[in-house]
Amino acid sequence: MSANIHNNTKHTINYSTKGVSKGQSISDLENKFVIPINQALTDSLSLKLPLLECDVLDERLTSLTATYYESLDSVDCELSPPKPVVVVHNGITVRFSLCEIPIWDNEKEQKIPTKFINLTVSAKLLKERYFEGITLNNISVLYQTFLDFKVFHCPYHVFMKGMVSDIDVCINRYCDRPSTFSSVLQCLYAQTGDRSKHLKIFGESNNIGLNFNQRRLAKPSLPYLKFYHKELELLSKSVDFFNAYLIPFSSAISGLTRVEATIKNYDHKRRLDKFLVIPMFRTLEDYLDIPQKKLFDFVCFSLNSYIVQNQRLKAPNLSPTEHIIYELLQNCILKGYDYKALLCVVDSFKGTSQATTDVSRSRMRKKITELYDLLMHGKTNEILKKENHNTKVNDYLRMFNLNPIL
């Protein structure tokens, strides 16, 4: 699938010269505190490292556990598997755990249960560089961060050859106000037809968004996606992390929204490879070599898994008066059309030949433009606000190769 990427810009914030060190320019600071917009970034992933190729430094990771009953002052003799080692600091949660996966052994010609150290690698571990996402340029920083926890140690090449899954790919985009973003969510919901049963719009006091499926129920044909208001999320659920590391981005996060899509497992990777969206990959090194454009295509492909294309009935031969067209244009604007969407209606007309089609379409576009200009010239405040609102909603949707709701 081909996705159009529009406005690959970065949103910057303004600085005074106060606090600028000698030899450091305002431009240097602005380049540091930017948020990539309309670009696919990796927010988090699950990484599995072979236990036999790692040195365990914190024995809690591999030690069996027992239950202690405080009121009885006794310990249950039945031992349980090791519990995850969890580190929480400044809104960042890091989990180290053990898992066992059947891995094919060529010599024994069968799958052998193999133990792995399972890590959740999050862009939050980059702290002030959070908005970069996980990339080949900063993965060495994340590698060293995990070693600094002194739970385990492994060579860099083992880290890079670790198996990846549950990858969250995100795209940031600005929306002028929450009401516009809510309209975007309603438009998306309306385009899913009977697949809307997998969707849930949420409007909490600290965020608004739209879930496509549930993470645990997602499957390759109906993947997990989530639209949400990133500014609201950072200032509520992730406020400890924001206050610790992202205060310089206070202005830049205004109106920031995000969509995240998850590459779940091997079957999901195989489907993406089959449809030529993303080439098959297994390791962290393989994944980080995937072009950013391919990751953007993946998000669009995932979103379109839910979109139902409505069939349009062929209009009969009509001769509407300009008055009727004028009123219909007005109704369309109030219901969600903008100027670009109105002109798209012309493309459904077909004449007796290509020549008559081209001429007729040109005349129809001219007539719509004339009446649209007349309508906008005499517009009420309601029409003006609605048309402006529609344009912003539809521009947001077009970034994902989606048409507005008509």
Give me 150's structure tokens.
């002194």
Ranges of each domain in the chain: 10-64+78-304, 322-398
Confidence band for 16, pLDDT divided at 50, 70 and 90: very low
Share of the chain above pLDDT 70, in %: 77
**Structure-block tokens of residue 197:** 């049963």
Q: Are strands 163-174 and 256-263 parallel, antiparallel or unpaired?
A: antiparallel
Quote the Cα angle for 135-219-3, to 5°.
50
The pLDDT, as a whole number, for residue 396 is: 81
Greater confidence (364 vs 13) lies with 364
| Tokens read off for 320 | 């509407």
Residue carrying the six token digits 């007349």: 374
Least trusted range by pLDDT, from 42-51, 77-86, 246-255? 77-86
What confidence score (pLDDT) does residue 15 get?
Answer: 32
Q: How confident is the model at residue 388 (pLDDT cuts 50, 70, 90)?
A: low
pTM: 0.75
Does 24 score more than 60 pLDDT? no
CB atoms within 10 A of CB 89: 10
**Do residues 370 and 301 touch, judged by C-beta distance below 8 A?**
no
Give me the residue label for tokens 């009953």. 69
pLDDT value at residue 330: 63
CA distances 377 to 79, 301, 344, Å, are 78, 40, 22
Provide the H-helix boundaries in 178-291: 178-190, 230-234, 239-245, 266-274, 284-288
User: What is the average pLDDT score of the chain?
Assistant: 82
Q: Is the pLDDT of residue 406 over 90?
A: no
CB-CB neighbours of 349 under 10 Å: 13
Q: What is the pLDDT of residue 98?
A: 95
* pLDDT computed for residue 179 by the predictor: 86
* Higher pLDDT among residues 379 and 356, named by residue: 356
